[in-house]
């Protein structure tokens, strides 16, 4: 019988190295980057981000294990904007770094991780959660209830 029980663990400051390693792995996979692409600036920036954000509570991450083997992750960052009619608290969250190793996909791991992150957001009083979906993840997020945003735009600044 196939094993279906995995360990979902809320990351702590002690997990910095694994979180950073995972972040780089996620970015390489999401952007189709091979191991030769230089990522040292992203790596050092991610380390500083996690170190600060985990300590001040503006980020929660979950790590997923099959025994001692890391198999997946997900994170959520918290921030506040001016209150609006649709979001009177102004509390928002952004889900990122969702990842499941290829051999473990389609086993409910991403859904369970997403559940944990959404529950954490509710505990933080968040009333709006957004994310950027890859083609691979879009179906999961739509099934969960995420909808495409109509009015949001972005200006990349170089």
Q: Evaluate whether 4 touches 112 at the Cβ level (below 8 Å).
A: no
Q: Are 39 and 45 in contact (CB under 8 A)?
A: no
| Residue 1, domain member (yes or no) | no
In a domain, 4, yes or no: no
In a domain, 81, yes or no: yes
Q: What pTM, to 2 d.p., does this model score?
A: 0.88
Residue 6 belongs to some domain of the structure:
no
3 lies in a domain?
no
* pLDDT reading at 3 higher than 70: no
In a domain, 111, yes or no: yes
Domain that holds residue 45: 11-144
In a domain, 152, yes or no: no
> Domains in the chain: how many in total?
1
pLDDT band at 158 (very low <50, low <70, confident <90, very high): confident
Tell me the pLDDT tens digit for each residue of 42-69: 999 999 999 999 999 999 999 999 999 9
86 exposure class (CB count in 10 Å sphere: 0-12, 13-18, 19+): exposed
Read off the pLDDT of residues 5-47 as tens digits, 9 standing for 90 and up: 899 999 999 999 999 999 998 899 888 899 899 999 999 999 9
Residue 118 lies in a domain: yes
Give 150 or 122, the one with higher predicted confidence: 122
Provide the CATH number for the domain around residue 71: 3.40.630.30
């Amino acid at each position: 019988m196939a094993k279906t029980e995995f360990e979902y663990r809320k990351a702590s400051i002690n997990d910095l190295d694994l979180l950073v390693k995972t972040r780089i792995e996620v970015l390489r996979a999401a952007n189709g980057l091979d191991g030769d692409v230089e990522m040292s600036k992203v790596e050092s920036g991610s380390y500083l981000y996690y170190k600060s954000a985990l300590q001040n509570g503006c980020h929660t991450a979950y790590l997923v294990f099959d025994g001692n083997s890391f198999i997946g992750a997900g994170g959520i960052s918290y921030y506040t904007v001016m209150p609006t009619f649709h979001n009177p608290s102004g509390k928002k969250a952004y889900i990122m770094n969702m990842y499941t190793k290829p051999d473990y996909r389609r086993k409910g791991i991403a859904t369970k991780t997403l559940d944990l992150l959404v529950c954490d957001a509710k505990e933080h009083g968040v009333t709006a959660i957004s994310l950027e979906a890859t083609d691979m993840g879009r179906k999961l997020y739509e099934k969960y209830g995420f909808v495409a945003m109509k009015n949001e735009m972005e200006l990349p600044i170089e």
